[in-house]
Homo-oligomer: A and B are copies of this chain.
Amino acid sequence: MAKYQKIPEATIRRLSSYLKCLAELEGKDEKVVSSTQIAEICNVNAAQVRKDFAYFGEFGIRGMGYNVKQLKFNIKEILGINRIWHIAVVGIGNLGSALLVYKDFLKQNYQIVAAFDKDPVTVIGRISERMGKPVEILHVDRLKEVVKARNIEIGIITVPPQEAQKVANLLIDANIKGILNLSPVPVKTPPSVKLRNIFFTSALDSLVYYLSN
């Protein structure tokens, strides 16, 4: 898929959000959609939508709009989510627990197949009381073994800041392919392990920038 190599990250981000909007349209039984409609639902402008799609060749027929199902399929293929990805969540506090029951993951082919904590007994008590036991919580000592056994490719870090790099190292050592770090401090990975640091403060920063300017 070398032709997709030079796509700006912001475009990738928007493709993902278009997907979200297309799922909504599909839920309302819409078959065809225009770039203007996508733009409106997604809160961007229509020229941006067309420009983003242009990176990947022609999706629609001029003047006819896009077929919702086909467009969804194409975007999923571009992003690489037309297959199931196995995920591990490490750190089952409030945020980790929230992810374990985040229904949209599965809709999007993200399957949480393992959850780890350094104190699984306490955590299990806490979770099962409130939401059943969505996935067995294992001791973090078993991480490497389970990542291998369950073909886990992505690790999500939801531990406190002082543990974040330690957990990243464990995941790297377990030959994970990608890490999504949701702890409030940046972690580092070697170039072979893809990394996304997501900070809630950054989302607020970008909101506040537009409120201030």
Q: Interface of A with B (CB < 8 Å)?
A: 1, 4-5, 7-10, 12-13, 15-17, 19-21, 24, 41-43, 78-81, 85, 87, 93-95, 97-99, 101-105, 108, 110, 126, 130, 153-154, 161, 177-180, 184-186, 188, 194-213
Which residues of the other chain, B, contact A212 by a CB distance below 8 angstroms? 1, 79-80
**A110 B4 Cβ-Cβ under 8 A:** no
Which residues of the other chain, B, contact A81 by a CB distance below 8 angstroms? 205, 208
Beyond A105-B200, A201-B105, A212-B79, whether A13 also contacts B186 by CB under 8 A is no
Residue of B nearest to A202 (CB): B16
Beyond A93-B98, A202-B17, A205-B108, whether A194 also contacts B178 by CB under 8 A is no
**B202 A20 Cβ-Cβ under 8 A:** yes
Majority-rule SS of A interface residues: helix
**A110 B204 Cβ-Cβ under 8 A:** yes
CA distance A198 to B16 in the complex (A): 11
**A208 B178 Cβ-Cβ under 8 A:** yes
Residue of B nearest to A210 (CB): B194
Cβ of A199 to closest chain B Cβ, rounded Å: 6
**B16 A205 Cβ-Cβ under 8 A:** yes
Cβ of A169 to closest chain B Cβ, rounded Å: 16
Cβ of A140 to closest chain B Cβ, rounded Å: 19
